[in-house]
Structure 1
Amino acid sequence: MSVTGGRRGGLLLAAVAAVGILVLVLALKGQDPDPPPAPDDTGSLDATRDPGSASPDDSPGSSTPGKAAEEKDPPLGPSTPITLTVPKIGVDSEVITVGTADDGTLEVPQPGPDLDKAAWFDKSPTPGQPGPSIIEGHVSTEEGASVFLDLGRLRPGDKVTVDREDGTRATFTVYALRTFDKDRFPTKLVYGGDLSTPTLRLITCSNFDPNVGHHTGNLVVFSKLTAVHDG
């Protein structure tokens, strides 16, 4: 994968504009009717602000001290994410890769062995590259709870760790949560914004409406790179 972070960020915005993306429709017919309620919006959307007091070097499972991302120059190069860990909510998931379907919608994990895994959108930067990397996951399915069931429990300062194919471990710190109606989804805010800062968006469905039988919103967790550990 040789696309640079800046070019990939531009390609992401172009892809969103071209295919519409349909607001990350992370829904399967017959999803569990009892998902958690949508959380209140919290935190500032300014990624340059301090997201919390937790140390940036407490990446789970690492025996060597991390180097603060702000001290590492330049940001990470491209490398496919392989695992996602979110200690606060007990997530430890393999990451699969998804693109866009033939109809122009964003692919989502399908029934089968990958259904409950996190999924990285391959038109976005890889985690640690400049720009917003996008990882999605179901909140629930016909089988019950899925990988991002408790995503709304995260708060500014919580940690998200991505292990990458090149052996590096990128730790992100949550700085904001927002819930958006799918019919008013701010595409440029979520998929765009600052294309120079390495950030990560975790996205799932929210606002289940039993009257229509599906979710009417998307929950987005905004986080930024705060530590890097070499493999």
Structure 2
Amino acid sequence: MRKAAGNRGTARGARAARLGDTAIAAVTLVALGSGVWLLGGGTGPHAPPQPSAAEGRPDPGGTRAGAPGLAPSPPLRIRIPAIRVNAPLVGLALTRSGSLDAPPAKEKNLAGWYEAGTTPGETGTAIVAGHVDNTEGPAVFYDLGALKRGARIEVDRRDGSVAVFTVDAVEVYSAHDFPDEKVYGAARRPELRVITCGGGYSRATGYQGNVVVFAHLTGSR
């Protein structure tokens, strides 16, 4: 995992993994949290919640039955009722350095999806990323680490359908032990990963890792 300079948050991507049908080498999610606002009050009650071991993935092989995959259609909005997320989605591309770009940090209620990969609801692994905070305070995925297994995630799609996912696990990984294939590897069913910074905060290096939500498609409407 590449670390961002100063107090910027960091996230790791896939090393020689595949996102949908697109091969990507050494992808890194960058700048998903500044942490600067934490410095005023320490990391006590202001730090974003982190998942407990009890929310770890019970189905690492993705064998649970789910809904059939939908036709490809770009996502427009993501909703996670349990943590009060209701945010528009913007397409994210790769930077020249091979990093997955981040949504504009100044727009706190905005998430992004990797638009060269799988669309949410389509068979494969779709990727959504968003900031945990910015210099002003909590951002769209600040409470992602508080999500529980079984929670619902809904994605509005351009074709008018809504892809409904059920959370399988919520895990936190350090920057030096990020499971690329587990997070970004191809899937035989429609799956979703929602990613933000997490794993504690250091004044020297910023956020220490990433919170990752694993979910699979269980319905649509």
Measured against the shorter chain, the TM-score band is: 0.7 to 0.9
Aligned-partner Cα distance in 2 for 1:121–1:21: 11
Amino acid at match of 1:108: A
How has the CA–CA distance of structure 1 residues 125 and 116 changed in structure 2, closer, same or farther, with 3 Å as cutoff? same
Instruction: Give the secondary structure class of the aligned counterpart of 2:94.
Output: coil
Aligned-partner Cα distance in 2 for 1:30–1:176: 25
Q: Does 1:228 find its partner at 2:216?
A: no
Instruction: Give the secondary structure class of the aligned counterpart of 2:176.
Output: helix
Amino acid at match of 1:49: R
Aligned partner of 2:141 in structure 1 is 148
Aligned-partner Cα distance in 2 for 1:178–1:193: 19
Aligned partner of 1:173 in structure 2 is 166
Instruction: Give the secondary structure class of the aligned counterpart of 1:152.
Output: helix
User: Number of residue pairs matched?
Assistant: 194
Instruction: Give the secondary structure class of the aligned counterpart of 2:21.
Output: helix
Aligned partner of 2:20 in structure 1 is 9
Aligned-partner Cα distance in 2 for 1:77–1:28: 33
Aligned-partner Cα distance in 2 for 1:8–1:208: 27
Amino acid at match of 2:20: G
8 Å contact from structure 1 (residues 175, 224) kept in 2: yes
Instruction: Give the secondary structure class of the aligned counterpart of 2:141.
Output: coil
Aligned-partner Cα distance in 2 for 1:123–1:141: 26
Which structure shows the higher helix fraction? Answer: 1
Amino acid at match of 2:212: V
For 2:130, which of 137, 141, 157 is the aligned residue?
137
How has the CA–CA distance of structure 1 residues 83 and 91 changed in structure 2, closer, same or farther, with 3 Å as cutoff? same
Q: Percent identity?
A: 36
- 4+ long deviations beyond 4 Å: none
For 2:50, which of 9, 27, 38 is the aligned residue?
38
Aligned partner of 2:13 in structure 1 is none
Q: Structure 1, residues 141-178: CA drift from partner, whole Å, max 9, x if none? A: 10101000101111111000000000010000001111
Aligned partner of 1:58 in structure 2 is none
Q: Scaled by the length of structure 1, what TM-score is found? A: 0.77
| Alpha-carbon RMSD | 2.0
How has the CA–CA distance of structure 1 residues 167 and 180 changed in structure 2, closer, same or farther, with 3 Å as cutoff? same
Aligned partner of 2:83 in structure 1 is 89
Which structure shows the higher strand fraction? Answer: 2
Q: Does 1:76 find its partner at 2:70?
A: yes
Q: Structure 1, residues 31-56: CA drift from partner, whole Å, max 9, x if none? A: 33232242223241343237xxxxxx
Q: Does 1:21 find its partner at 2:32?
A: no
Aligned-partner Cα distance in 2 for 1:197–1:157: 17
User: C-alpha displacement at 1:124, in angstroms?
Assistant: 2.1
Amino acid at match of 2:168: Y
